[in-house]
């Protein structure tokens, strides 16, 4: 089974952000960028699944400017088998990212799509749910534990909810955030 992981390039979590003088956004020139921490957790989970022998390949995907290749290199250094960069010069919103991921899923045919639960730059927490809806795949959001049953093609996901933990059983292929 192939696992696809979406990774996003964001301003490093340790950097003190500055608002642009014209108040149109955050200053990103000459600012340290890194992989979104939640995307890093998603990639680590995909690599853990692969190391346990339940997946054959982990493909990291990043979208944006040419500098996103640095984020993909980080993913490859962590252990991803391949990286895919979708170059986009304009602003990428959750729905456009979800549509691009859907197109990539149709080409790559992964058995599992894992995303970080949210990005630290826009705090949206929407892309995973949108791509699951577009694909018609089951989804497990806010996952804290993922267990795959390759024989039965099922993922068991423990997820964080207000009252504690909830356990879901998802038929594969599925989307997990």
Instruction: Tell me the domain boundaries of the chain.
Output: 2-13+25-137
What's the predicted TM-score (pTM) here?
0.88
User: Cis (ω within 30 of 0) for the bond into 103?
Assistant: no
Q: What is the pLDDT along the chain (177 residues), one digit of tens a residue?
A: 999 999 998 877 877 877 888 887 777 777 788 899 999 999 999 999 999 999 999 999 999 988 889 999 999 999 999 999 999 988 888 899 999 999 999 999 999 999 998 887 777 888 899 999 999 999 999 999 999 998 899 999 999 889 889 999 999 999 999
pLDDT of residue 51: 95
Superfamily of domain 2-13+25-137: HUPs (3.40.50.620)
How big is the CA angle at 95 (ends 93 and 74), to the nearest 5 degrees? 60
Rounded CA gap, 72 and 81, in Å? 11
pLDDT of residue 31: 78
Q: CA 61, 64, 67: angle at the middle one, nearest 5?
A: 95
Question: What pLDDT was estimated at residue 15?
Answer: 77
């Amino acid at each position: 089974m192939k696992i696809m992981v979406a990774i996003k390039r964001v301003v490093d979590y340790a950097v003190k952000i500055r608002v642009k003088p014209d108040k149109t956004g955050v200053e990103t020139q000459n600012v340290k960028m890194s992989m979104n921490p939640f995307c890093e957790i998603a990639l680590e989970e995909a690599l853990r699944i692969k190391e346990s022998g339940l997946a054959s390949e982990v493909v990291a995907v990043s979208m944006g400017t040419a500098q996103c290749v640095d984020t993909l290199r980080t993913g490859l250094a962590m252990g991803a088998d391949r990286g895919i960069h979708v170059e986009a010069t304009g602003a990428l919103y959750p729905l456009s990212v979800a549509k691009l991921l859907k197109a990539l899923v149709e080409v790559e045919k992964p058995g599992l799509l894992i995303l970080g639960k949210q990005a630290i730059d826009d705090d949206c927490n929407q892309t995973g749910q949108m791509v699951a809806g577009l694909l018609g795949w089951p989804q497990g959001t806010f996952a804290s534990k993922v267990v795959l049953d390759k024989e039965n093609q099922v993922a068991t996901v423990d997820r964080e909810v207000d009252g504690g933990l909830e356990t879901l059983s998802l038929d594969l292929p599925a989307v997990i955030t």
